[in-house]
A and B are shown apart, each in its own frame.
Chain A
């Protein structure tokens, strides 16, 4: 892709034009980009940032890679996302809001949207729809999981795009990274953890702080959900706690919907 005679690790690279765009989100994933002070300047040498409203005035419609943060909750957001899609060569979903709906999609568990609006705004008219991830609206080329994303991962993705290298996600679960880091297992402390079923890549961020995984990166390939549930229940962790974690970021929605249905059958 594109111009110039720059090199990165001895490999000639282009300096792709990059835009950052946000939809319904906390904007934390964008913030991660300016949050790694030690590598920020290297990153800026690698790309040309042409759109980054949170950090700069001025915008351009000419970009190669669009990093899109947030989920889609309103018709005007659909239009804006489609326009970005039509301009970008590569569209990257940045963070769990964009990949799965993130915490925002917890709203979807209430089937009654008018009630949701009423709870927050009383009778006032406010527009909102069911929360959707980007790929429900447009074609997404790449996903960067996490709430928040890891900056290192974003940089790796950009580098790979620039040098035309395929991007490989870990297929294995967080437990593998956690064990490699020799953390104390949360299960041994009697706490809940979705590490056995969640896609690795975060370096077992939460268990490294002795906090259980909440599954923000979504499921690993072929997650063994039954085994995970059994492991948790053997340790006295309730179905409700498992459900809380499974449904928090939206990556496990098919499993959490099933568990919710099962629980309401048991406890109508």
Chain B
């Protein structure tokens, strides 16, 4: 039996932002297992103070480079809710299409470039360019497709230019959408091969019961706005999000933590899937069954597979959205905005989980107070508890420091944390 173990990973690689893992086990007892966030805060909530509403999406989109579209959309939704603007069906469809493609590009980036190297015994994707060129080419092809759609609909793949409060500054050409429709259909083959690749990976058999929080699907798998739900049975309205997140400060982190019915909860692809399995596209549900993934799954490593399942879902759903856009006449891209005093919340499922933006405006539309609750911030406490459990379990099984270190790093990576975003 293993009695002593020391794991120190100061700057965890292949994650967004700066986080550290520390595990110390002495005489078989876990003395320390910690997930520390050392990222510098940028104070976005203070920065917004006094700014006109128009600034909010431009500034807060810069909270995160990977999910800038999600932040921009959550910000826009918060402003629109505060000003009592309901987006048109066309705007809703275009936003969802954009959202889907961000999900695809982010999940593919995570699955192939950040997570897969662990399963393939590589330090990064770079050596795979020579050893497994077709795998890398496939990942690049899917990412390129997703990014091309984002360029076309949002104006830019990173920090979109066309997405504004009230709608879009400019609409895509229908013939471009038709071309993307073909490419999305052709992407099925790449998705099938991705699923095949992942069936060859050994997903650690590890589970720790926890609570999962996400948007609640009502008629469809949820991405933009709606009611909030937890797997422990809590349900709230979007504007009551604070009752879901209950943020608090801890000394080991510059990011706030969150909890609900238990000491911690999880958000992300696995949480969405656990809470909304019935709304998955049948093709996505089929991939889930390939991996015996069904609700409620408590294995955090399965978040990788949940992301894979969502890739299939968003590609299928994107084709449906394009079909309905192609069938309709283009309407005006943007509605008029009349600012008013009020509070608005925008809840959006970004790749790493549920994101909230909340703004309070005075009657001239200047921000009085802003609050952003980031998915990874909500996951930190859960990651911490997973690490504690992982350390004690694998130490008692007599695993080596090296293996525990690898499994701990893979665990954190499974959450696909976006650390600088969580600190913001």
Q: Which residues of A contact B (CB under 8 A)?
A: 22-32, 34-35, 37-38, 40-41, 44, 49, 52-58, 73-74, 77, 102-104, 106-107, 110, 115-117, 119-122, 124, 126, 128, 147-148, 205-206, 208-211, 214, 240-241, 244, 248
Contact = CB atoms under 8 A, between A and B. Distances in A.
B72 to A, nearest CB: 12
B75 to A, nearest CB: 13
A26 B421 CA distance: 7
Nearest to A146: B159
A54 B14 contact: yes
Contact of B161 (A35, A116, A209): A209
B13 A57 contact: yes
A73 B62 contact: no
Nearest to A32: B158
Contacts of B420: 22, 24-27
Interface residues of B, number: 54
Given A107-B46, A209-B170, A244-B54, 17 more contacts: A26-B64, A27-B16, A27-B420, A28-B159, A31-B65, A41-B140, A58-B13, A73-B42, A106-B59, A110-B46, A116-B43, A120-B43, A126-B254, A148-B65, A211-B155, A214-B58, A248-B59
Interface in B12-48: 13-17, 40-43, 45-47
Contacts, number: 160
Contacts of A110: 46, 49
A77 B58 CA distance: 26
Contacts of A206: 155, 161
A25 B161 CA distance: 19
A37 B164 contact: no
Interface in B43-72: 43, 45-47, 49, 51-52, 54-55, 58-59, 62-66, 68
Closest 5 A/B residue pairs (Cβ): A28-B65, A56-B124, A209-B155, A37-B140, A37-B144
B13 A56 contact: yes
B313 interface: no
B197 to A, nearest CB: 18
Interface in B129-158: 129, 140-141, 143-144, 147, 155-158
Contact of B41 (A23, A54, A128): A128
B385 to A, nearest CB: 22
B186 interface: no
Nearest to B118: A57
B288 interface: no
B55 A244 contact: yes
Given A37-B144, A77-B40, A27 B46 contact: no
A122 B46 CA distance: 12
Contacts of B157: 35
A37 B49 CA distance: 38
A26 B65 CA distance: 5
Given A107-B43, A148-B65, A210-B170, A248 B55 contact: yes
Given A74-B40, A107-B47, A244 B52 contact: yes
Contacts of B45: 119-120
B164 A53 contact: no
A28 B13 contact: no
Contacts of B52: 240-241, 244
